[in-house]
């Protein structure tokens, strides 16, 4: 199916990570022009620049700082013109489990800045971009987490930052249509996904079994599973009447045990 993404300009934040890189590759394969944001790690993106020199650009920015977000959009507009779609994917998952009574305020504040404030700033400047470059369409995909749905013990900072994205998304869906009549925003919540961010945790078979006990499909998602949904929702042709929705990509995950450990094979 032609998703109608050829020559569309997509800005992907956190594009060098596992999910972000998969999303970026998918858009490029559909013929889109992609501006890929990264913070410090650009290794995976350099290969894409060599493979797609005319449709790919990358830019480093600390998305917690407003002027850097503004500069990211200035760069993107210079490269490929109006940004048609934003995939707000950048975020952090502090790996160490820290209960709330031991968590420093600095960790709490940094996680919320990285996972929530950065999304606010990116959406703010995407919407300003819609004012600067008027048009009927504009789509935003926000990447959340199943932790924002079920909570995650030892990660109150992360789960809180991801849960807050729901309110942000539901508000923006009512505002974006005043800037672009067919503008849309949706939230994608990945469950456990095989990425560099969690690969060390998934080396522990006891953790994997505990995770799979809550998933009817008894499978940890791949980055391709997430990218498929993101690209579909970005397409105005495929999902032009879908907005304000929360899609959880977690194999039917529930906040309770569905299987005994003996029923899980790894």
Average pLDDT value for the chain: 93
Domain 9-193+221-251: give its CATH architecture: 3-Layer(aba) Sandwich (3.40)
Find the mean pLDDT for residues 1-29. Answer: 96
Whole-number Å distance between alpha carbons of 97 and 100? 10
| Banded model confidence at residue 261, pLDDT cuts 50, 70, 90 | low
**How do the residues of the chain divide into helix, strand and coil, expressed in percent and rounded to 5?**
45, 15, 40
Q: What is the pLDDT of residue 264?
A: 61
138 alpha-carbon distance from chain centroid: 17
Contact 90, 14 (CB under 8 A): yes
Helix or strand or coil: residue 128? helix
pLDDT score of 218: 83
In which band, very low, low, confident or very high, does the pLDDT at 262 lie, cut at 50, 70 and 90? low
Domain limits, the chain: 9-193+221-251
Q: Which token pair is 84?
A: 């048609």
Residue 22: predicted pLDDT: 97
CB atoms under 10 Å from CB of 184, counted, come to 25
Task: Please report the pLDDT score of residue 48 as a whole number.
Answer: 95
Report pLDDT digits (tens) over 80-116.
Answer: 999 999 999 999 988 889 999 999 999 999 999 999 9
Please give the pLDDT value at position 265.
Answer: 67
CA-based nearest residue to 57, from 84, 29, 86, 28: 28
Q: Please give the positions annotated as active site.
A: 158
Instruction: State the pTM of this model.
Output: 0.92
Residue 213 and residue 239 in contact, taking contact as beta carbons nearer than 8 Å: no
In percent, the amount of the chain with pLDDT more than 70 equals 94
């Amino acid at each position: 199916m032609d998703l109608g993404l050829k020559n569309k300009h997509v800005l992907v934040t956190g594009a060098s990570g596992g999910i972000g890189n998969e999303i970026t590759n998918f858009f490029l394969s559909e013929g889109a022009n992609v501006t890929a944001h990264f913070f410090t790690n650009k290794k995976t993106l350099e290969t894409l620049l060599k493979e797609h020199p005319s449709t790919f650009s990358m830019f480093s920015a600390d998305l917690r700082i407003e002027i850097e977000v503004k500069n990211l959009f200035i760069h993107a507009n210079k490269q490929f013109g109006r940004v048609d779609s934003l995939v707000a994917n950048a975020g952090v998952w502090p790996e160490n489990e820290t209960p709330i009574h031991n968590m420093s305020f600095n960790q709490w504040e940094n996680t919320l800045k990285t996972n929530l404030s950065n999304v606010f700033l990116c959406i703010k400047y995407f919407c300003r971009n819609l004012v600067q470059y008027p048009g009927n369409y504009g789509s935003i995909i926000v990447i959340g987490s199943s932790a924002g749905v079920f909570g995650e013990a030892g990660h109150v900072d992360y789960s809180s930052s991801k849960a807050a994205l729901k309110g942000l998304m539901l508000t923006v869906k009512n505002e974006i249509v005043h800037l672009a009549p067919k503008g849309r925003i949706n939230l994608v919540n990945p469950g456990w996904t095989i990425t560099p961010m969690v690969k060390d945790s998934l080396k522990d078979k006891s953790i994997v079994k505990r995770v799979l006990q809550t998933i009817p499909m008894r499978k940890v998602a791949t980055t391709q599973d997430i990218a498929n949904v993101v690209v579909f929702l970005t397409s105005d042709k495929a999902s032009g009447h879908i907005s304000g929705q929360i899609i959880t990509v977690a194999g039917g995950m529930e906040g309770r045990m569905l299987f005994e450990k003996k029923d899980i094979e790894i």
